[in-house]
Amino acid sequence: MGADTLVNPQHDSLDGWKAEKGYFDISFEVSGHPSSISTCLEVTRAKGVMVQVGMGGAVPNFPMMMLISKEISLKGSFRFTSEFNTAVSWLANRVIDPLPLLSAEYPFTDLEPALIFAGDKTQAAKVQLVF
């Protein structure tokens, strides 16, 4: 999927990713924990994007100044709980057929042509890589 390095913040230092106002163009925060939100903003480069997935509790000390000073765009992405189980059940029981949504399949080794095709929204809805 393009990842060169896996970082586990429980065991690995994030200092290198935080240096120079952050490293990542896009970061995803999925826990909703205040310390994770701060860390996510720290490792996101200036003018980058942080995606907040799901819905945690209130964050009383949200690092607003870091968000503003680095001009990070904050995007929200809501996740649901019961709908996922319903969707999996429908797929497993063949209530719905997702294959008509699939525009094309490409071998993983043909990543670049797959991305080019996927970018043409006049032809592609869903492009799948086969590993």
pLDDT of residue 1: 39
Q: Are residues 86 and 69 in the same domain?
A: no
The CATH number for 70's domain is: 3.40.50.720
Q: Are residues 61 and 88 in the same domain?
A: no
pLDDT of residue 127: 93
Tell me whether residue 7 is in a domain.
Answer: no
Whether the per-residue pLDDT at 113 is higher than 90: the answer is yes
Whether the per-residue pLDDT at 4 is higher than 90: the answer is no
Across 15-24, 49-58, 82-91, the highest mean pLDDT is recorded for 15-24
Strand partners, 75: 51
| Structural domain harbouring 104 | 82-130
Tell me whether residue 10 is in a domain.
Answer: no
Domain count, the chain: 2
Q: Is the pTM of this model over 0.75?
A: no
H-assigned helices in the chain: 15-18, 34-43, 64-69, 82-92, 111-119
Tell me whether residue 34 is in a domain.
Answer: yes
